[in-house]
Amino acid sequence: MKARAFHYARWTVRILVGLALLLALAAAGLWWWAGREGSLDWLLRQLATGGPLSSEGVQGSIRGAWHIQRIVWERDGFRLEAEDIRLEWQPVALLGRTLLLDQVRVARARVIDQRPRSQQPLVPPQDLSLPWRVRVDELRVGSFAYQGSMQL
């Protein structure tokens, strides 16, 4: 009886170790793929499927430096456009619940607001806290344009 219990325990340990190794191998493969050129383009195309996001001229990897010629987000008459975006970040910082952006550069940014004008005055949010710490070392926007019915 003891031999049978020992046998089952040994197989349970082997299965658990095998699953842990498989999980580690999958994580290593994902990390390797996220560092390859084209992974960022693939991710943005997946996010854009059936959604309000589109991008053009995407270069770089998820883990590395990004260069995007043009990206557009649009929903319900509100449109954000950015051109010639360059971003460098530290993805490992996410493990410490920190979004660490070394550099964000945008040559041209534009906001087009064609939503119907609301009768209610806009009220600023009471709380702007985020669940993660965010640090941006360098932020540059070459030009910014706004087109809409609201006065800024």
The model's pLDDT over 72-124, given as tens digits with 9 standing for 90+, comes to 999 888 899 999 999 999 999 999 999 999 999 999 999 998 888 776 677 78
DSSP-based three-state secondary structure for 96: helix
List CB contacts of 116: < 8 A, sequence separation 6 or more: 77
**Is residue 64 within 8 Å of 43, Cβ to Cβ?**
no
Q: Mean pLDDT over residues 12-19, rounded? A: 92
Element (H, E) at 140: strand 139-148
Residues 104, 147, 143: CA angle, nearest 5 degrees: 30
Is pLDDT above 70 for 151? no
Is pLDDT above 90 for 67? yes
DSSP letter for 27, please: H
**Whole-number pLDDT of residue 5:** 76
Please provide the distance, in angstroms rounded to a whole number, between the alpha carbons at the two ends of the chain: 80
Instruction: Tell me the CB-side half-sphere exposure of residue 39, using CA atoms within 13 A.
Output: 14
In which band, very low, low, confident or very high, does the pLDDT at 1 lie, cut at 50, 70 and 90? low
**Is residue 78 within 8 Å of 115, Cβ to Cβ?**
yes
